[in-house]
Amino acid sequence: MKETQSGSGSGETPVVRMDKVNKHYGALHVLQDIELEVTRGEVVVVLGPSGSGKSTLCRTINRLETIDDGDIYIDGTRLPAEGKPLAQLRADVGMVFQSFNLFAHKSILENVTLGPIKVKGMKKAEADKLAMKLLTRVGVANQKDKLPAQLSGGQQQRVAIARALAMKPKVMLFDEPTSALDPEMIQEVLDTMVELAEEGMTMIVVTHEMGFARKAAHRVVFMSDGAIVEEAKPEDFFTNPQSDRAKDFLGKLITN
Ligand X SMILES: Nc1ncnc2c1ncn2[C@@H]1O[C@H](COP(=O)(O)OP(=O)(O)OP(=O)(O)O)[C@@H](O)[C@H]1O
* Shorter beta-carbon distance to Mg ion: residue 55 or 60: 55
Residues that bind Mg ion (CB under 5 A): 55
* Shorter beta-carbon distance to Mg ion: residue 14 or 48: 48
How many angstroms separate the CA atoms of 195 and 158, rounded? 12
How many angstroms separate the CA atoms of 161 and 78, rounded? 25
The one-letter amino acid code at 230 reads E
Q: Is 256 in the site for ligand X (CB under 6 A)?
A: no
Q: Which does 56 bind (CB under 5 to 8 A by kind): Mg ion, ligand X, none?
A: ligand X
User: CB 50 → ligand X: shortest distance, Å?
Assistant: 3
* Shorter beta-carbon distance to Mg ion: residue 55 or 155: 55
* DSSP designation for 80: P
Are residues 18 and 93 in contact, defined by beta-carbon separation less than 8 angstroms? Answer: no
Binder to ligand X among 56, 60, 113, 207 (CB under 6 A)? 56
Q: Is 48 in the site for ligand X (CB under 6 A)?
A: yes
Residues 13-42 contacting ligand X, CB under 6 A: 25, 28, 30
User: CB 86 → ligand X: shortest distance, Å?
Assistant: 20
Find, among 113, 220, 95, the residue nearest to 161 by Cα. 95
CA-CA distances (angstroms) from residue 177 to 89, 100, 192? 22, 8, 11
Find, among 49, 55, 52, 21, the residue nearest to 37 by Cα. 21
Identify the three-state secondary structure at position 11.
coil
Q: Which does 28 bind (CB under 5 to 8 A by kind): ligand X, Mg ion, none?
A: ligand X
Binder to ligand X among 55, 143, 207, 224 (CB under 6 A)? 55
Q: Is 87 in the site for ligand X (CB under 6 A)?
A: no
Largest CA distance in the chain: 55
* Shorter beta-carbon distance to ligand X: residue 39 or 55: 55
Q: Is 50 in the site for ligand X (CB under 6 A)?
A: yes
How many angstroms separate the CA atoms of 56 and 186, rounded? 23
Binder to ligand X among 5, 19, 22, 51 (CB under 6 A)? 51
Q: Which does 52 bind (CB under 5 to 8 A by kind): Mg ion, ligand X, none?
A: ligand X
Size of the site for ligand X (CB under 6 A): 11
Find, among 32, 85, 38, the residue nearest to 219 by Cα. 38
How many angstroms separate the CA atoms of 127 and 27, rounded? 46
Question: What residues make contact with ligand X under the rule CB under 6 A?
Answer: 25, 28, 30, 48, 50-56
